[in-house]
């Protein structure tokens, strides 16, 4: 009985640690929702700052792979990194910034905002929904859950409707976002979600 309790306690601590990492990682993810405000305030300066952030992060990761830690940034990256990222260049933050930059360059501000918010809330909350409530897994999706995909749909629908005030557009964008999020793309969904959903929104808004 004592052995069982010890084993159960270890599993519970492992789950809580995984949940903490996911909350921490996705809280950073959802902070990108502020980027559209900065784009409306000063488009050019915001793009420059995002590009500098991407370049700076890449340098810190390359230094980290050589055993040189950069204060604060290396600590945050280590806390947020998944097990699959151990000893590797952590792509998530880089693809996140590059996806936002690409959406902002390719599309007008309104559809770009929809794409960025879909990334911030749809992709961000999907993972948390899956971690907290995901029991039923979707085949051939690399472990994605029905709860996570439904959370993604609702989050994108609400954020898109808040911008365009059109139920049809919000529904189409949310369905497309849910399908993209279900694909086993790992960190590259950060690139595809804002670009593709911004494009979908652009087609129907204009």
Mean per-residue pLDDT, 8-13:
50
Per residue in 45-74, pLDDT (tens digit) is: 999 999 999 999 888 888 887 877 777 666
Q: Is the pLDDT of residue 82 over 70?
A: no
Mean pLDDT (the chain) is: 82
First CA to last CA distance, the chain: 65
DSSP 8-state symbol, 140: T
In angstroms, rounded to a whole number, what is the distance separating the alpha carbons of residues 126 and 99?
A: 18
Check: CB of residue 113 under 8 Å from CB of residue 54.
Answer: no
Per residue in 96-151, pLDDT (tens digit) is: 999 999 999 999 999 999 999 999 998 888 877 777 776 777 776 677 888 888 99
């Amino acid at each position: 009985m004592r052995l069982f309790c010890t084993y159960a306690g270890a599993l519970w601590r492992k789950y809580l640690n995984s949940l903490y990492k996911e909350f921490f990682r996705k809280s950073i993810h959802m902070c990108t929702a502020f980027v559209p405000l900065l784009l409306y305030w000063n488009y050019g300066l915001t793009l420059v700052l995002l590009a500098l952030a991407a370049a700076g992060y890449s340098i810190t990761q390359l230094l980290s792979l050589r055993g040189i830690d950069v204060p604060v940034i290396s600590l945050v990256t280590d806390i947020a990194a998944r097990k699959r990222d151990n000893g590797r260049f952590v792509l998530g933050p880089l693809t996140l910034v590059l996806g936002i930059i690409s959406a902002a360059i390719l599309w007008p501000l309104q559809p770009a905002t929809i794409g960025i918010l879909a990334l911030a809330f749809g992709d961000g909350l999907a993972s948390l929904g899956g971690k907290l409530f995901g029991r039923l897994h979707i085949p051939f999706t690399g472990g994605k859950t029905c709860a996570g995909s439904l959370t993604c749909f609702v989050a994108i629908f609400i954020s898109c409707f808040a911008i365009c005030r059109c139920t049809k557009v919000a529904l189409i964008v949310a369905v497309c976002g849910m399908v993209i999020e279900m694909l086993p793309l790992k960190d590259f969904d950060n690139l595809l979600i804002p670009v593709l959903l911004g494009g979908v929104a652009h087609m129907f808004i204009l």
